[in-house]
Amino acid sequence: MLQELSDLSSEEKSNIDGNLAIVTDILKENQMDILNYDEIKRIQDPEPIIIIPENLAPFVPKSTIYLTKFVPKDLNIKRFKSFQKRKLEQKIPYSKRERLIDKKAGIVRTISELKVLKDNKEIEVEKFAELMEKYSTKLKMCDTALEKLAKM
């Protein structure tokens, strides 16, 4: 470390060497005990009160260790998910047409999966007919909505 300090005079370097030697001797004489977490908590100053607004509570890291016992309230997951969804929509704005096309593609995939299940005889015929009717009406609704958007 001292070799990196080139702008010091030889007298200053010898003073620093002497000080470092004294500190290392004191550290060797006083064997330090490693304190456990409870002892550290007892010695430390109490932590300040931290008030977190409810809308920012989901972003507080769970790994944070507080000196005082703090029991976080359960978050309202639905509100948090809707918040995330809103933020995502603000970042990536989709048009109504793109959303309808995505929805239509999902319905078509579902219908094709139903056909595969029927061919493999993994689904009953009544259940297949019921689900096909449900998804075909949804598909028609998407098609009519897309047509209306195209006319506008």
Q: What is the pLDDT of residue 93?
A: 64
Q: What is the pLDDT of residue 139?
A: 94
Least confident among 52-56, 116-120, 132-136:
52-56
Residue 74 has pLDDT above 60, yes or no: no
Report the chain's mean pLDDT, rounded to a whole number: 79
SS3 assignment, position 75: coil
Q: What is the pLDDT of residue 133?
A: 94
Q: What is the pLDDT of residue 131?
A: 93
Rounded to 5°, angle at Cα 35 from 30 and 39 = 125
Residue range 106-112: mean pLDDT, rounded: 93
Q: What is the pLDDT of residue 56?
A: 75
Residue pLDDT, tens place only, 20-59 = 888 778 867 777 666 677 777 777 666 666 777 777 777 7
Q: SS3 helix, strand, coil % of the chain, rounded to 5?
A: 65, 0, 35
